[in-house]
Amino acid sequence: MSDTVVARPVLDGARVGGGAAFDGFVRSGIVVEQKAFTGATGDQGGYAIPREIDAQIDAVLKSASPIRSIANVVQVGTAGYRKLVTTGGTPSGWAAETDARPVTATPTFVEIAPPMGELYANPSASQAMLDDALFDVEGWLAGEIAAEFAKAEGAAFVGGNGVNRPRGFLQAPTAAAGDATRSFGTLQYVPTGTAGDFGANGAERLIDLVQALRAPYRQGATFVMNAATAARIRKFKTSDGQFLWQPGMAAGQPASLLGYPVVEAEDMPDIAAGAHAVAFGNFKLGYLIAERSETNVLRDPYSNKPFVTFYAPKRVGGCVSNSEAIKVLRFAAS
């Protein structure tokens, strides 16, 4: 390894113009900090994004990828994250004052391992664009990365197949059986009674979906659907002419349906025969997102001159962690 010492500019004030460390790296490739990913790579490695930009990216992701905002997000250090879920609780028994106390059964555990994948963005800008002092390099970089990540995440958390990416909650197996008899890891579906439609009374089907979720999970539960499905449901009325759908009382508040908030996720399927177009559940308990907190940026000014490419990878995983906490509405006869 080389004995050359690389000067490390102070990272404070990454947004301050005129020679700030990260700004200098993005604009002209001035070295901020060298790291080796492995012992064999020498001085080659990534450059840590300042904490400010990571915060920007997360803020945009929550608005663009709605599943992230309602799921359980954990920060991990490796791809080997595991979570234990107890499926049976701790059994107990009744006895008289002087009766013997037999040993009770042992709780049963299930190990959850969310499939991980490397999500990446690879935006480019011309060197002339970067040289423009009026151009907000960091804001552009954060926005480009956030847009790429949000698009891929939104699709993966709903319908990802689990191969080098998260496994979406709609990819879990489904069955009509209730929680007492359904195997762990299988979501319960509630049929509408009509293929590709709500049937005679769509409001009743929604009530059935809500009541299929047991009371402990309904605290903090949310409806998830796309905009086309929401448009259908917004027209539902009660027998006295009142709309089931209630808009938010203030700007930024979600709409409510049967007293529960509604999240629009455009990656949810449209209403069709056999589709699970509406989900209802406590996603904080039912869906797990595991991700590394750090995002690295590699600057490449050579491969595509006169453009400078910024390669930003991030490891993200996800899967259903508690199949009792999420129910889906199936648009089918049974």
Distance from the first to the final alpha carbon of the chain: 67
Whether pLDDT at 13 is above 50: no
Whether pLDDT at 202 is above 70: yes
Rounded to the nearest 5°, which phi and psi values hold at 316? -135, 140
pLDDT-derived band at 292, boundaries 50, 70, 90: confident
The reported pLDDT for the residue numbered 222 is 97
**Pairing relationship of beta strands 326-330 and 116-121 according to DSSP bridges:** unpaired
Number of neighbouring beta carbons within 10 Å of residue 240? 5
- The pLDDT tens digits for 26-76 are 676 666 555 444 334 434 344 555 666 777 777 777 767 799 999 999 998
Q: Which of 296, 290, 315 is nearest to 54 (CA)?
A: 296
Q: How far is CA 132 from CA 12, 55, 129, in A?
A: 22, 25, 5
pLDDT-derived band at 200, boundaries 50, 70, 90: confident
CA dihedral 300, 304, 308, 314 (to 10 degrees): -50
- The pLDDT tens digits for 62-120 are 767 799 999 999 998 877 888 888 877 778 889 898 889 888 888 788 888 899 999 88
Q: What is the pTM of this model?
A: 0.80
pLDDT-derived band at 135, boundaries 50, 70, 90: low
Q: Which domains does the chain have, with CATH numbers?
A: 21-80+113-163+289-320 (no CATH), 173-288+325-330 (3.30.2320)
- The pLDDT tens digits for 209-248 are 999 999 999 999 999 999 999 999 999 988 888 888 988 7
Whether pLDDT at 291 is above 80: yes
The reported pLDDT for the residue numbered 45 is 40
